[in-house]
Every structure is written in C-alpha cells, then in structure tokens.
Amino acid sequence: MTAAAQLKPVVAAPTRTVSIVASGAYVPPGIRTNADLEKMVDTSDEWIYSRTGIRERHIAEDHEATSDMAAEAARRALADAHLGPDQIDLILVATCTPDMTFPSTACFVQQQLGATHAACLDLSAACAGFLYALDVGRQYVASGQLNTVLVIGAEKMSTVMDWTDRTTCVLFGDGAGAAILQATDASHGVWPAVLGADGSLNKLLAIPGGGSREPFSQQVLDDKRHCLKMAGREVFKHAVTNMAAAAQEALQRSGACIEDVACIIPHQANARIIQAIGQRIGAPIEQFYLNVDRYGNTSAASVIMALDEAARNGRIQRGDLVLLVVFGGGFTWAATLLEW
Ligand code: UT7
C-alpha cells in the first residue's frame, strides 16, 4: 500500500449557514470639507455636491496607516461580538492601499489585535474588494473548514491622491470597516455572491505606477503615476450598468424581489450613480442607504462602513433582507444578499 493510500479520505463537510454576527467601523477624526478643497484646487462646494453628493471626507494623519484603521474597526467588531482576538481563524483584508507591498496588511492587523491563531491574507479587487473578501470568508465558514473569519475593508485613499487633480482628489476619503463571520442557525445568512470582472477595461481606473509594470522612478513620481487615475465619465456608465445587473442577478438567484429588500447598501462613490441604479432596478432612493455625503468614496471600506452605520442607527434590523452591491477598478463588481 502506498503512503497516500493510508491517508484519511477528504470528506466534503456539510454546508453551514453563515452570518455576519458583528461589525465595526472606524474613520480617522480629521475632516476635509469641500470648502477646504476650494482652497487647494479650482473647484467649488456647489460642483462637488451637485455632481457627487459629497460634502466632506475623513483624512488620516501621516502616522496612521491602513492597518491601524483596520485594526480599530476590527476591535469594535470583536467587542460587538463579545469575542477575543484568539478566536479568529482567518483575517482577510480587502484594500488597494496596503501598508506595504508585503507583508500583507492582514499580518499587521493580526499583530495589532494579538490574533495569534489567525491565518492572514489580503485581497485586491479595488472598490469591490469587500464583497469579494466576504464571499471568500463565507465559503471557509460554510464548508466547516474555519469557524470565525474577520473580513475587513480598509483604505487610506489620501495617500494615492494627486492633490492637484480636481477630477479625482475631491472624491475619495479614508476609513475602515470590519465584519465577523460565523456559522449560525439563521434561515439564510449571507448568500453566495454574484461576482464579475472585465479586465479589458483596466486602464479606466488605476494606479499605473509603482508596481512591476512601471516600477518607481523619478519619472513615475514627476508624472504622478503612483496616484489614482480615472476616466470619470466612462467609469460612471460602467458602474451603473454592472451594479444594476449584479443586483438584479443576486435577487433572481435568491428568488427574492426588490420589494422584499429592506435596505440596499451600495458602494458609496457618487449619489447620482446610486440614483441611476435605483431607476434601473425599480427601487426608490429611500430604499438605499447613503453616507457618501460624510465620507466620500472610501473604496473597499465603503460598503461595510455603510452596513455597520445602518445597523447601528437602526436603519436595518436583525432579520432584514439587505442587498449589497459594489463596483471598482479592474473593472470588478459584486452583489450579495444577506439576512442581517
Ligand atoms: O469607486 C470606483 C468607482 N468610481 C466611480 O464610480 C466614479 C465615477 N465617476 C463619477 O462619479 C463622475 O464621473 C465624476 C464625479 C468623477 C465627474 O462627474 P461628471 O458629471 O462625469 O463630470 P465630467 O468628468 O464630465 O466633467 C464635467 C466638467 C469638466 O469640465 P469641461 O470639460 O466640461 O469644461 C471637468 O473639467 O467638470 C469639470 N470638473 C470639475 N469642476 C470643478 C471635473 N472635476 C471638477 C471639480 N470641480 N472637482
């Protein structure tokens, strides 16, 4: 008999229902208002608010990195769940502004929390990253391979802004949100996500410099190619089309209709994008949760920050059906239904 034949067979574990049992969020205290930006670039509060719905955004201090914000959001989620850091099996961080190329931001979060039993992994899907990470974490718990997964979306977008480019610097902000996934006896929990991507459109929203394609050089710095570049109008159109389609597919797969959804929590990039999605899927703006006015676009952090806020202020209640939908560079997009 071979050595392999003596090993235990791999037995498929039963699928378990997975729920977000707790959440937390953190934004740095510093606020940059539209009036502040008027002093930095040729813009106006009127233009920014009417085109995007943004009034202000939070900006981290120089000493505060993505993992610092992520760890604080995670501490709040752990406190909410009455769990200790040693109970976390996996830390998954969705970010496009990691502390360093490596180690992963998740490793820095592990160190700060003292989550010594946790495996650590970063996931890159730009502004859609949190729902991609949620789906990865959900599968580990559903399969029974892991019991407690900490999923974080965290960004320090202020470090990748060209603060002289009015077409991008008015849009983004810093922050973090965290969710804890466990198996529960809820009837549905978190549904499998609808995930999509179109890599052929990678140039429309990107940080082109500083990676292996265009390594750091004086030229990259002079041309500010280490900063976020976006073809705003094009991104707008694709964001509406793909988020609306993903939301509809998530509903169709679950058998729910839009009227069953207590609250739609979309990626917070632009209030006009959210309005346009509502028109396509037949949802009035009141059905959406919006906080883009106070935080701007926090990329991978936005949807979990909004979900956490909606839960804390009572906009969603335990048992409510919630629809999450996101879109980001890549392009990448995702939609997930969950029973809160
Ligand atoms: O998180 C990932 C997903 N990201 C997004 O979903 C963002 C998608 N895009 C958008 O939200 C919008 O396209 C923007 C908010 C970025 C821009 O709004 P827009 O209505 O598409 O404006 P535009 O880019 O067509 O620009 C209109 C005008 C231009 O001037 P001209 O060429 O018409 O003279 C811009 O130069 O507005 C000008 N402009 C500004 N004016 C004052 C652009 N940015 C500014 C600004 N202040 N900050």
For the chain, domain boundaries? 18-183, 194-339
Answer yes or no: is pLDDT of 6 > 80. no
Average pLDDT over residues 153-166: 98
Answer yes or no: is pLDDT of 11 > 70. no
* pLDDT at residue 13, rounded to an integer: 62
Average pLDDT over residues 234-244: 98
Closest CA to 127 of 329, 265, 320: 329
* pLDDT at residue 275, rounded to an integer: 98
Closest CA to 120 of 110, 111, 135, 129: 110
Active-site residue identified among 96, 107, 120, 127: 127
Strand order across the beta sheet in which 90-94 lies: 18-26, 174-183, 149-156, 90-94, 119-123
Closest CA to 128 of 4, 25, 243, 250: 243
Which of the two residues, 107 and 3, has the higher pLDDT score? 107
Return the CATH number of the domain spanning residue range 194-339.
3.40.47.10
- What are the pLDDT digits (tens) for 93-137? 999 999 999 999 999 999 999 999 999 999 999 999 999 999 999
Query: In CATH terms, are 18-183 and 194-339 the same topology?
Result: yes
CATH superfamily for domain 18-183: Thiolase/Chalcone synthase (3.40.47.10)
Mean pLDDT of the chain: 96
Active-site residue, 267 included:
yes
Active-site residue, 169 included:
no
Percent of the chain with pLDDT over 90: 95
Distance CA 298, CA 268 (A): 8
Per-residue pLDDT band at 175 (split at 50, 70, 90): very high
- What are the pLDDT digits (tens) for 299-338? 999 999 999 999 999 999 999 999 999 999 999 999 999 9
Amino acid of residue 188: H
Ligand 1 pocket mutation, candidates 33, 167, 174, 268, criterion most atoms within 8 A of CB: 167
Query: How far apart are the two ends of the chain, measured CA to CA in Å?
Result: 51
Active-site residue, 120 included:
no
Distance CA 195, CA 188 (A): 19
Ligand 1: residues within 6 Å at CB?
A: 43, 47-48, 51-52, 127, 166-167, 170, 232-233, 235-236, 239, 269-270, 273, 297, 327-328
DSSP for 129-177, written as a single string: HHHHHHHHHHHHHHHTS-S-EEEEEEEEGGGG--TT-HHHHTTB-EEEE
Ligand 1 pocket mutation, candidates 130, 207, 236, criterion most atoms within 8 A of CB: 236
Protein residue with its CA nearest to atom 23 in ligand 1 = 233
Per-residue pLDDT band at 52 (split at 50, 70, 90): very high
